[in-house]
Amino acid sequence: MEEVIATRNLCRAFGRRPVVQEVTLSVPEGSVFALIGPNGAGKTTTIKTLVNILEPSSGEANVLGTPSTKLGPSQFQKIGYVSENQELPEWMTVAELLAYCKPMYPTWDDAFCELLLRQLDLRPEQRIRSLSRGMKLKAALLSSLAYHPRLLILDEPFAGLDALIREELIRGMLELTGQDRWTVLMSSHEIDEVERLADWIGILNKGRLELCESVTSLQARFRQIDVRVSDNGDSPSSLPVSWLLAEKSAQRLQFVETQYHAQKTEESIRRIFPTLQQVLATPMSLKSIFLALARTYRLSA
Amino acid sequence: MLPFRVEFKSGLPVYEQVVYAAKKAIVSGQLLPGDTFPSVRTLSQELKMNPNTAHKVVMTLVSEGLLEVKPGIGTLVGKAPSATRGQRGTLLNEEVERLVVEAKNLSLDLKDVLEAVRKHWNGLQKR
C-alpha cells in the first residue's frame, strides 16, 4: 500500500475549541514523517485520533487502509505506539511487561527482543516504577518494536530527555532497518533530532497544517540570501512573495528565499536592486527553515 | 564502527555530506578497493540517519562506480571509477564555482586559491 496514513480535512474540537483544523496529510510507506510544531499546535491530538484514542469531530483518518474509528486487533498488531504520556504498569518488571505484551502480537520475535534489550541497555528484572523517565520510554519502545511493527508512531519521544538517552532511542528505532516494510510517524518540537531522521516534514501551527513536504524538496528551495547593494535606499514596498523576513539596511539586504533557483533568484534581485554587487546564498538547516516559517506565521497571525 | 568520519554541518543536506565523506575516504586511501563498505543498516544506525537517505548514499556511490555490490558478500569499495575525465570534470563544476565564490568573498586572489588547492591535494595523497 502506498500511504500508510492518510487524513482528509481531519478536524477535532474540544467543546467549541478547535484543536485540529482541516488537516490533510499522507505518510508514504517506508518514510520517516516528522510532525513538528510548537506546543499546543495539535500534534498529540492528531496522533491520538490516528490510533483511535480520540474520534475525529469531522473529516477522516485512514491508517493501514482502515478508517481510524474502525481499527481493530489485526491493525493494532502492526502498529507500535510510544507516547511521552504513556502509562506503563509501574508494578511490573520489564520482563513481565514483555511477557504481558507478547501473546497479543503474532509477529513477536524473541530474538529481536533480546537484541533490543541489549541495544537499549535495559535489564529484564528492573521494576518499571524504579526506571527514570528516559528508561521508561525505552521500555515502551522495546515493547512496541519487538513485534516488528509496520507503522511506528512516536508522540514527542524525545521531550526532556538527555542526549545519550535520545541517541539510544534513535538507535533502537533504527533497528527496524533491514526489516522489509516499516514507516515512522513522529511528532516533535525538537527539530535537531528530526533533521537527520525525517524524510518528510509536516508543520502544524494552531491546529492547521501549514506545510507537508519532503525534506529534500524543502532544503532545495530554501536559502538564506545576503545581498550587497550600493544604494542607500529603503526596501521597495513590494518584494516577491517568495521572499520572507526581508530586512534592508544601508547597503545590505537579507531575506529568506523560499523558491530558490540560482539564476532566477539573482535575476529577481537585480530587477529590484540594479546596483546589486554580490549575492550569497546559504543552504539552511531544517531548524532555520522552521524558525523562519514560524516567525512568518506569527507575523501574519 | 564506520571506516570514515562524517562531521555533520547544519544546513547542508545529510545525503550530500555523507556522500562527500565517503568519496573523501576513498580518494585519500582511507578506504581501499576491496574494503567492505558499511551496509545501509550500519550507516543508518551509526550516523543516526534516515535509512532511505543511507540507501540513497550507497546507490549514488554505486552508480558512480565507487562501490560495487557483490551478492552474497556485501558492498565493496570498487576499483578506480570508470567515469570519463569529462564526466568527472562536470561533477566538479559546482564545487569549483563554490570555491571561487568563497575565495572572492574573502578577497583572496587566484594565487592564494591555487596554493590552497595544492596544499590539500598533497595532503590527501594516497599512501
* Best A175, A196, A288 residue to mutate vs chain B (most B CBs within 10 Å): A196
A178 to chain B: which residues are within 8 Å by CB? Answer: 41
Q: pLDDT at position B86, please? A: 62
Question: For position A20, which CATH number holds?
Answer: 3.40.50.300
| Same-domain check for residues A136 and A271 | no
The model's pLDDT over A91-107, given as tens digits with 9 standing for 90+, comes to 999 999 999 999 999 99
Q: Distance (Å) from the C-alpha of residue A284 to the closest C-alpha of chain B?
A: 4
- Above 60 in pLDDT, residue B81? no
| Same-domain check for residues A146 and A250 | no
Q: pLDDT at position B38, please? A: 93
| B10/A285 CB distance under 8 A | yes
How would you write A134-157 as a 3-class SS string?
HHHHHHHHHHHHCCCCCEEEEECC
Q: Tell me, what's the ipTM?
A: 0.79
Within a domain: A296? no
Within a domain: A39? yes
More confident position, B17 or B24: B17
pLDDT band at A129 (very low <50, low <70, confident <90, very high): very high
Q: What is the mean pLDDT of residues B57-64?
A: 93
Within a domain: A45? yes
The model's pLDDT over B18-41, given as tens digits with 9 standing for 90+, comes to 998 898 888 777 888 999 999 999
Within a domain: A291? no
Q: What is the mean pLDDT of residues B55-70?
A: 92
Q: Measured between CB atoms, does A226 come within 8 Å of chain B? A: no
Q: Least CB-CB distance to B40: which of A177, A196, A216?
A: A177
Please count the residue pairs, one from chain A and one from chain B, whose beta carbons lie less than 8 angstroms apart. Answer: 54
Domains identified in chain A, total number:
2
Last residue of a domain, one of A185, A214, A243: A214
Last residue of a domain, one of A165, A180, A214: A214
What is the spatial distance between Cα B43 and Cα B55, in angstroms, rounded to a whole number?
9
What three-state secondary structure class fits A109? coil
| B50/A32 CB distance under 8 A | yes
Domain region containing A232:
223-283
C-beta separation of B95 from B27 below 8 A: no
Q: Least CB-CB distance to B11: which of A31, A170, A283?
A: A283
Find the helix packing angle between A94-101 and A133-145, rounded to 10°: 30
Half-sphere exposure of A7 (CA within 13 A, CB side): 28
Q: Measured between CB atoms, does A216 come within 8 Å of chain B? A: yes
| Same-domain check for residues A210 and A227 | no
Within a domain: A190? yes
B53 to chain A: which residues are within 8 Å by CB? Answer: 196, 199
| B41/A177 CB distance under 8 A | yes
Within a domain: A294? no
Q: Measured between CB atoms, does A244 come within 8 Å of chain B? A: no
Written as one string, the DSSP assignment of A119-139 is HTT--TT-BGGGS-HHHHHHH
Q: pLDDT at position A189, please? A: 83
What three-state secondary structure class fits A22? strand
Within a domain: A297? no
- Above 70 in pLDDT, residue B127? no
Task: Indicate the pTM of the whole model.
Answer: 0.86
Q: Least CB-CB distance to A177: which of B11, B13, B51?
A: B51
Residue of A nearest to B94 (CA): A262
Q: pLDDT at position A204, please? A: 93
Q: pLDDT at position B90, please? A: 66
- Above 80 in pLDDT, residue A295? yes
| Chain B residues within 8 angstroms (CB to CB) of chain A | 8, 10-15, 40-41, 44-45, 47-54, 101, 105
A177 to chain B: which residues are within 8 Å by CB? Answer: 40-41, 44-45, 51, 54
pLDDT band at B80 (very low <50, low <70, confident <90, very high): low
According to DSSP, the β-strands at A58-63 and A3-14 are antiparallel
C-beta separation of A33 from A200 below 8 A: yes
pLDDT band at B62 (very low <50, low <70, confident <90, very high): very high
| Same-domain check for residues A182 and A269 | no
How would you write A185-202 as a 3-class SS string?
EEEECCHHHHHHHCCEEE
Q: pLDDT at position A235, please? A: 65
Q: Class for domain B14-77, per CATH?
A: mainly alpha
Within a domain: A250? yes
| Same-domain check for residues A245 and A126 | no
Mean pLDDT, chain A, rounded, equals 91
Q: Measured between CB atoms, does A163 come within 8 Å of chain B? A: no
Q: pLDDT at position A124, please? A: 96
What three-state secondary structure class fits A172? helix
Last residue of a domain, one of A197, A214, A231: A214
Q: Least CB-CB distance to B50: which of A167, A197, A219?
A: A197
| Same-domain check for residues A45 and A13 | yes
- Supply angle C-alpha A135, A83, A211, rounded to 5: 130
Q: Where exactly are the structural domains of chain B? A: 14-77, 85-123
